[in-house]
Structure 1
């Protein structure tokens, strides 16, 4: 049976006995009134009757999150993704500190996410929240939470200016012409492949001579700057992307390195080199992902089918490409809406 102890003028401590690993353990919580203490103690007894592990509910959420990352997610995700989870452990510890699982609810998590969003972009904040939501769902499945409230928490981070902006068609042409005429520098060939195929930087650095044929470049692996894992981002990332005869000839001229790859990672400084090149050509700044956006925008604007672009980019599903399309081509969305309304209106003619 639970016990209630008076702990001062306006303090009452409720104590509940639980069994953990075959040993008796006391779970306690202090309240301002005796009635609150009784309600809590009764709730804990009910949870015990349902087989819930109320002792573990007194662990901090930060401890639980770290344990979950290293025991569950380690074997669920790619090495590169796991590194992101490890970084999130530090973020969760900084945000939640000593907050116990038993004190966690959607309002507490929302407050912490809002706090994080004050100094981070909406995209980054969303990525952190998604990991926290997954941990909350796991805690609920384990009986450590009464509700799976993660979906109630929303991201309200800052909307920062997008870094990987697509180049205009004129700027794309200027950059492409320069890269084609300066292939003596292997960096320019890497940038050319990115601009022509939409391949990710790691996928280009992972190319070997056998991956190049008259049919295109065969993407089978990806090189990471943080680990030795060469697995691709998704199963659909393994693909063949067609290239022009001109680009095929250029790639074939590259001498493989001693490790079997076509290109030297060069300390993974390609982003810095791209920035300098764009400044030299007096073109707007973008990233390697921006080159991927550029070829996608070029194809979308010329009405190339979504399923073709999806396969070329290695998206996991067509919905990802559709979201990509709507982000890059908002004016197309508005035009299609107008066309659809005109069609409906024509029915009454």
Structure 2
């Protein structure tokens, strides 16, 4: 039977017990956000009052000003806690069963990736004559497909210019107040990324007089929005679709796929845990390439008379 404890109180105890120090700090902060939403939406809702109806109403209230994917993440957090409550006999039945996920219509998002011509136009407007700046940061992600936090954590000693590759082994915790180095997203994210000779020359010159063990691009607090707004201005200057910094990573991967690089190689370069992630993320490109391959196959077979 449900005990007299409020939903947000149980969720707080649950996330401290099961999630604190078990997930990355950035992930734990998402659970904290869910907890704050529960306090805001249902400050007095008891576990004993939870039913499919009250839970669905909670989701509907949350969905009024959140996109469907965000509602799905919220539901996943709360459902995980309530399943444990059910196993502990704090609930009689699962109130999340057959829950319907709603959400407001998706906002107009930035372009997910650029084509090769647009990417070249962006690179053409970069200012690479003034030492370390965000233009070099944008160039590096465009050439390597690194995640935002991975690129922030790079130090001069992470570059192996002699062998033309970059060692990726940590991230920069830019979301916390104090910042600092943090682990990579997963074990597969620890990798060596091959560099082209032009990038090697550019960054060997750039890092020549910089402290070897200090992040190249960190000078005080860094905000993702600040870099995205700067990149937006560059995109408008280049007269191309506005793209986010993460979109540069997508652009890097998509251009490699269009160039005929295997999915396995792209997955390793991006630091994906497995090829499934790569296939799901770039399904539209892979399907387009498969259609092109089918055309080639048919032309080849038709020539065998």
Do they fold alike, i.e. is TM over 0.5?
Answer: yes
Name the TM-score, length of structure 1 as normaliser.
0.74
CA distance in 2, matches of 1:325, 1:164: 14
CA distance in 1, matches of 2:166, 2:219: 18
> Please, which moves more after superposition, 61-70 or 260-269?
260-269
| Counterpart in the other structure of 1:301 | 258
SS in 2 for 1:152: coil
1:218 corresponds to 2:158: no
CA distance in 2, matches of 1:283, 1:274: 11
SS in 1 for 2:167: strand
- Listed as ranges, the gaps of 5+ residues in structure 1 are 1-53
| Counterpart in the other structure of 1:114 | 60
More strand as a share of residues: 1
| Counterpart in the other structure of 1:199 | 146
Q: Is the 8 A contact 1:183 1:250 kept in 2?
A: no
- Listed as ranges, the gaps of 5+ residues in structure 2 are none
| Counterpart in the other structure of 2:183 | 231
Over aligned residues, Cα RMSD in angstroms? 2.7
Give 1:247 deviation, angstroms: 0.4
Name the TM-score, length of structure 2 as normaliser.
0.84
Give 1:164 deviation, angstroms: 5.4
Number of residue equivalences: 286
Q: Is the 8 A contact 1:257 1:263 kept in 2?
A: no
| Counterpart in the other structure of 2:203 | 251
CA distance in 1, matches of 2:148, 2:219: 10
Q: Is the 8 A contact 1:133 1:151 kept in 2?
A: no
| Counterpart in the other structure of 1:167 | 114
- Provide closer, same or farther for how the CA distance between residues 246 and 338 of structure 1 changes in structure 2, counting only shifts above 3 A: closer
Give 1:182 deviation, angstroms: 4.8
Q: Is the 8 A contact 1:80 1:229 kept in 2?
A: no
- Provide closer, same or farther for how the CA distance between residues 330 and 132 of structure 1 changes in structure 2, counting only shifts above 3 A: farther
| TM-superposition CA deviations, 1:198-251 (whole Å, max 9, x none) | 101111111122211124111111112223451111111111111101101211
Mapping 1:247-286, distance limit 5 Å: 247-253=199-205, 254=207, 255-257=209-211, 260-265=214-219, 267-268=221-222, 269-286=226-243
1:332 corresponds to 2:288: yes
CA distance in 2, matches of 1:272, 1:197: 21
- Provide closer, same or farther for how the CA distance between residues 335 and 211 of structure 1 changes in structure 2, counting only shifts above 3 A: same
Give 1:133 deviation, angstroms: 1.8
